[in-house]
Each structure stands twice: as C-alpha cells, then as structure tokens.
Amino acid sequence: MPPPPPPAGSGQNRDNGSSQKGVKGSGGKSKSFSLRLFVLGAGNNGSTKSIIIVAILVVAVALLLLFVIYLCRRKQRKRARNALIIPTLHEADGGDEQIISVESLLLNLATIKAATNNFSEENKLGEGGFGRVYKGILQDGQEIAVKRLSMSSAQGLGELKNELVLVAKLQHKNLVRLIGCCLEEQERILVYEYLPNTSLDKFLFADPARREQLDWGIRYKIIEGISRGLLYLHEDSRLKIVHRDLKVSNILLDAFMTPKISDFGLAKLFDVDESDGKTSRIAGTYGYMAPEYVIHGHFSTKSDVFAYGVLVLEIVTGQRNARPQEPNYSESLLSYVWKHWTEGTAHEVLDPSLTGQCRSQDVLRCIHIGLLCVQEDPSDRPSMASVVLMLSSHSVTLPAPSTPAFVIWHSSTAENREKIETDASDGLQRKATRVVSVNTVSISKLEPR
C-alpha cells in the first residue's frame, strides 16, 4: 500500500523554509563578515595614522637633534677659531699684564654693516690686494676704519692672527689702535680707529696740492714719530717685534698729522734673546726690503731700519724710491740721493715745495740719517734708539755713511768718487779725499720668493 502523500505544500514549504533559512543564514554570515572587515579596516586606518604621527615625531626630533648638534659644533668651531686667532698672551709678555680675550675684541657683523651702510661705495676709503677699507660710525658716534679682507686676499688666517695679537697688545701713540674684529659668515674684518688724513702716500705722491700741505715742520714731526714707533716695537715694549712691511702707505695720519704705523700682518714676534730670523717666504714691498732679506731671507730689527731710511729719503725728497728721479738716470731714489751726496749737492734733492721753509743743516742731517739707515751691511746701520737720539739732539756726531744697498753706478762714474762727511755741529758738507768703494752689482728686478 503506497505511503500517503505529504500534505499539500508541505514539501515545498520545507524546501522553501530550508531555502529561506539558508538565505537567512547566508545573509547573516555575509553581514557578520562585512562587519568584521569594516572593523578590521577601521583598525588598520588607525594604525596607519598612528604610524604616520610617530614617524613625523621621530623625524622632527631627529631634525631638532641635528640642528642642536650643528649649533654646538658651530660654536665649538668658532671657539677653536677664536682660540687659534687670539691665543692668550700670557706667554708673550711673562703674564704680568691682563690677558686679552677674543670676546673683548669681537664685534657683531650686523653692527659693522650698520656702521658702514652695508659696506657702501660712498663709505669706501680705499682698496688694495688685501681687500677694501671703509669708514664707519658706531651707534655711540665713534668713527672707525673697517678693513674687510677679501676671500682671495694674500693675508690669510696666520697674518690676521698676527695683526690681532700684536696690535691689540701694543699701545703707543705712534701705532694704530685696534678696536675689534669680526669673524662671522666667512668674513674677516679688522676694525681700527679712524684717522681722517688717511695714509702718508696720499700726501706725498697722489696730489701735488696735498703735498704742499706737508711743510717741513710736519715732515720732521712724521720722521720723528715713525722713529719712536719703531723704537717701541724693537726695544721699549714687552714684545720684541720686527714689522717687516714698513712703507709710506702703512703710515697713517690723524687729524693732527701724528704718524701711526699700521698693518702688522707680516710682523714677526721675537723672544727676548732672539736678534734675527730667516724665512724662505719673502714677503714685503719692493723698494723697502733690505738686501739681506731679499737675497737670503734674513730679517731683523735692522731690516726695519733699512725701510725707515727709505721712508726718510722719500719724505725729504717727495719722490718714490722705485721711480727714476732724473731723465738721465735710471737708478732708484737711493742711487739718486747718494749721487748728490757724494758730489756735495745733497741740498738739491730736497722737495721743491719745501724751498725756503727749512734750514739746510736740518735737511742735510735728515738725509745723512736716511743714508746711514740704508747702508748695505746691516751691522753698519744704526739702531732705532740711536736714530731717535740723532734726531732729537744735534750735538750727536754722525758717522759717515757707506754706499747704500742696491746703488748702481755707470762704469764711467764708478771711480774716484769722493767721500762726503757731515759736520753735525754746523750741518755743512765737506769733501774728504778717500775713494768710495761702490757696489757694481746690478739687480734688474726683485721679486718675492
């Protein structure tokens, strides 16, 4: 007997029910899975943001640390450079004087820019191989001269150190006074007292009208002032110093025409027991370098005496040493003056603008001193102490000068030249009968090695 048929719709309903349950079940699982994905996605986004934030913080901290390290190292380098440029001067003078610190000399670059109107052309006083010099006015009204060294300047860190150490320590009315320096942003700047009459060469050689302002009284004052400044460097200060670059452009003049020696970049500091030195690096200015320095690299206080003698003759004659003085002569100023000295006509070398302003014995005495200073043998040259005495006291008898260094005579005039001596008591020249031995070596060109 066959089984009874299922109730109508019951199988279909079961199938439908199962189908519906299945659909429900399938839908529930899908929604649950989507929810999990959403939650998981939301979690991933939060983690990503956290990672980004952490990364940003780490980078920021790292940059900050690098910046702090940079500032620290920059400060250390600055201190090291300052220590290199201005070491303590305790050893230099025995420690009796107060040690000069670099901080007392450092000036802010912004202050210097403001004082010079940002190094404007209107403020420029001059320019040379070392760089430019500007006039400036500080906020307190003080006038300054700003020496801004160029990057290509031959005056390097060593010369800058020299100038800072020496000028800062030396105090004399005939030496230029250093106010400070600036070593920021690759700048190398020296700041000095401002001297309104600039340098001596501007009066002697640049403008005939200005040369006439140098009467004999002013010229003698300059000659004497330079001698006292050199004496201080050589003997009177606690430091024994050879300048090595004394020349007319390095003599500055204040408002009262008081001379002040400047530019100590090449100066050499000696120990008390040292008397001379030697170098293979010949540096200086043609016409002022002593022969032993040019030829052998030897320098001493007598090298400065030679340069001083050249200066004296330039001041008296108003002529440069390196230029021909007469149409028929190609000799230097030393040859020109020596020629007239041996011929008894030394008064003819006097600057024409001084005619009638001075006594001939005063002029002849200065020429005599100048010739003593430029003698070829360093041992024959007087010390600066002797020079100061010769200038201040006319009762001191002067020895006869020998042939100056670098003097060149033509062979036709090299024989039988008569020696000229000066009687210091009356300042008159008189001829002696002995023959002068003349150096016939010709040096056509001098170049630093």
Taking only the tens place, the pLDDT of each residue in 131-145 is 889 999 999 999 999
**Rounded distance, CA 248 to CA 108, Å?**
32
Average pLDDT of span 23-34: 51
Q: Is 383 domain-assigned?
A: yes
Q: How many domains does the chain have?
A: 2
Residue 199 pLDDT > 50, yes or no?
A: yes
Determine the pLDDT at residue 52. 86
The answer to whether residues 217 and 318 belong to one domain is: yes
**pLDDT value at residue 7:** 54
With respect to residue 413, please indicate whether it lies within any of the assigned structural domains: yes
**Is the predicted pLDDT of residue 123 greater than 90, yes or no?**
yes
Q: How large is the average pLDDT for residues 355-368?
A: 92
Q: Which of 20-34, 192-206, 229-243, 425-439 has the lowest mean pLDDT?
A: 425-439
Residues 289 and 310 in one domain: yes
pLDDT at 410: 41
Which of the listed residues 193, 221, 256 is the one where a domain comes to its end? 193
Residue 120 has pLDDT above 70, yes or no: yes
pLDDT at 389 exceeding the cut of 80: yes
Q: What is the pLDDT of residue 411?
A: 36
CA distances from 371 to 221, 231, 378 (A): 19, 18, 12
Per-residue pLDDT band at 158 (split at 50, 70, 90):
low
Are 285 and 256 part of one and the same domain? Answer: yes
Q: Looking at the domain assignment, is residue 359 inside a domain? A: yes
97 domain residue, yes or no: no
The whole-angstrom separation of Cα 367 and Cα 48 is 92
Mean pLDDT of the chain: 77
| Distances, alpha carbon 149 to alpha carbons 97, 141, 266, in Å | 30, 24, 15
Confidence of residue 46 (pLDDT cuts 50, 70, 90): low
Q: Answer whether residue 36 shows pLDDT above 80.
A: no
CA-wise closest residue to 112 among 133, 132, 137, 130? 137
Q: What percentage of the chain carries pLDDT values higher than 90?
A: 42
Instruction: Report the CATH number at residue 146.
Output: 3.30.200.20
pLDDT band at 356; cut points 50, 70, 90: confident
Give mean pLDDT, residues 201-207: 92
Residues 207 and 115 in one domain: no
Whether residue 245 lies in the annotated active site: yes
* Active-site residue (options: 96, 207, 245, 377): 245
87 domain-assigned:
no
Same domain for 318 and 338: yes
Residues 205 and 333 both lie in one domain:
yes
Domain residue limits at 145:
102-193
Residues 121 and 222 in one domain: no
Average pLDDT value for residue range 409-429: 39
178 with 204, same domain?
Answer: no
- Does 169 have pLDDT greater than 90? no
Q: Is 205 exposed, middle or buried (0-12, 13-18, 19+ CB in 10 A)?
A: middle
**Do 157 and 221 share a domain, yes or no?**
no
Same domain, 182 and 215: no
Two tokens, residue 326: 């007469």
Domain containing 284 — which CATH number? 1.10.510.10
pLDDT given at position 432: 35
Residues 315, 368 share a domain: yes
Q: How confident is the model at residue 201 (pLDDT cuts 50, 70, 90)?
A: very high
Identify the pLDDT of residue 447.
Answer: 35
Residue 153 lies in a domain: yes
> Does 9 reside within a domain?
no
Residue where a domain terminates, one of 167, 193, 219: 193
- Across the range 203-231, mean pLDDT stands at 94
Name the least confident of 1-5, 216-220, 240-244, 436-440: 436-440
**How do residues 371-388 score in pLDDT, each as one tens digit?**
999 999 999 999 999 999
Looking at the fold, whether 172 and 204 belong to one and the same domain comes out as no
Q: Is 147 annotated as a binding residue?
A: yes
Of 139, 160, 193, which one is at a domain's C-terminal end? 193
